[in-house]
Structure 1
């Protein structure tokens, strides 16, 4: 396994020699959400590589890019594992609000299951702007963070035995279904996520193989770049600016510190 500990700390701006305890996880998740963009640029530009410890480290840490759920949560999983946490990766199926149905790409969402003092928690740094910035217990208990409220309820579905729900600050008045996941289907080797990447790259229903999407949380909200707009949410206020082919790369560098990208 590649040693990602010190490099990951530097990437998210966390002290290199400070012990990582359970109480520190909200800080880790907060820093990760701001430092690592959720983005699909390697898929659109045809630059995807096999998912492995080495390739994840090269892309996200050395090249300072971001990634999709199976990349962002995989690198966080490796970091937590190397800091002594008992964690596994799990598969989920995202719920589509517009279609009022589960995604036709099926099990293409990866998240982390953490075991601590006899309890299980969901961690996720790869769900776009819908990130719980703290561990979410699998008890139905609501947790609160800067960007909203989150909970996991036990409910059987064709795609698992739990459902993750979201109520974002400034955006949601009611709870929204995020995804279903299966705690019985556990992944301990990041290479097992390659099937997710292949489906995301090629499936006609994939939301990530058509147009660019780059987003990350900020200290005051979030920022999202597409092929046609740059949208900032600042304390609940939306600021939207048009983006052209000429200004896309400039915005990518300015707001996400990414110098390689694609615009379709």
Structure 2
């Protein structure tokens, strides 16, 4: 299949009738549509599906197989699509704040989009972090950035890095410099194979809704709406139905954690 056909199928998956303009408005349209329609999910890891570390493979997973993925897959696919649409894109590496400290380098991958090099207008495109900003954030010290999910601040730190904060809580640190997909080879392997990886310890599939979020983790369905949370334990038949009804994913068996905690 040609790249143009994959782009067409990709845009159809995002419910975008035509290619968006190469502009801030176009980037936001793609970003918001991606978050709304493509779930964050680690099912391939736990079902033994081998997804090669290639932008085209990630794009085909989203566009042709109508699946989601973890951050490397989702943002790797987004990078491919934006590049094909004519955007100026590079990859960025992040360390995530967890339990008051930073995780290892490359624990998260983002896309940096330059809209105007003369004015240093660079946006953070991130559709692979689960519950996060709906619109692309501006990179650099520009004060508070309002989003439907809260208030964000992106501030310089160290020599060329940036901290991203959500409602005054540090989320992740963007490391200096640009990356290629190959730079994430080792950590991508670790995320899929290590018993210490959160992606092998539980299955997860998650999407935002109009008023909250819906997440299926193992056999537990969690729905948040208007500040309230409902948690239900499902039997296997209901799990398969939930994947179809809420995430448009058709499976013939229930995914199980590859390496559940002892």
Q: Normalized against structure 2, the TM-score is what?
A: 0.87
- Distance in 2, Cα, partners of 1:62 & 1:11: 9
Gaps of 5+ in 2: 258-262
- Distance in 1, Cα, partners of 2:134 & 2:164: 10
Shift of 1:18: 4.3
Q: 2:108 maps to what in 1? A: 109
Q: 1:172 maps to what in 2? A: none
Shift of 1:17: 4.4
Shift of 1:119: 2.3
Q: 2:260 maps to what in 1? A: none
- Distance in 2, Cα, partners of 1:239 & 1:181: 34
Q: 1:183 maps to what in 2? A: 176
Alignment counterpart, residue 256 of structure 2, candidates 246, 258, 263: 263
Q: Deviations over 1:167-190 (max 9, x none)?
A: 3xxxxxxx2211112131x124x4
Q: 1:52 maps to what in 2? A: 54
Shift of 1:191: 4.5
Gaps of 5+ in 1: 168-174
Q: Deviations over 1:35-94 (max 9, x none)?
A: 110010000111122121332132111110100001111111111112221110111111
- Distance in 2, Cα, partners of 1:19 & 1:74: 20
Q: 1:143 maps to what in 2? A: 145
Shift of 1:207: 1.1
Q: 1:79 maps to what in 2? A: 81
Q: 1:171 maps to what in 2? A: none
Q: Secondary structure at the match of 2:201?
A: coil
- Distance in 2, Cα, partners of 1:178 & 1:123: 15
CA RMSD of aligned residues (A): 2.1
Shift of 1:244: 2.9
- Distance in 2, Cα, partners of 1:241 & 1:164: 33
Q: 1:241 maps to what in 2? A: 232
> 1:179-258 residue pairs with structure 2 within 5 A?
179-184=172-177, 186-188=178-180, 190-258=181-249
Q: Normalized against structure 1, the TM-score is what?
A: 0.86
Q: Secondary structure at the match of 1:208?
A: helix
Please tell me whether the aligned partners of residues 140 and 154 of structure 1 are also in contact (alpha carbons under 8 angstroms). no
Please tell me whether the aligned partners of residues 95 and 175 of structure 2 are also in contact (alpha carbons under 8 angstroms). no
What count of residue pairs does the alignment treat as equivalent? 250
Please tell me whether the aligned partners of residues 132 and 150 of structure 1 are also in contact (alpha carbons under 8 angstroms). no
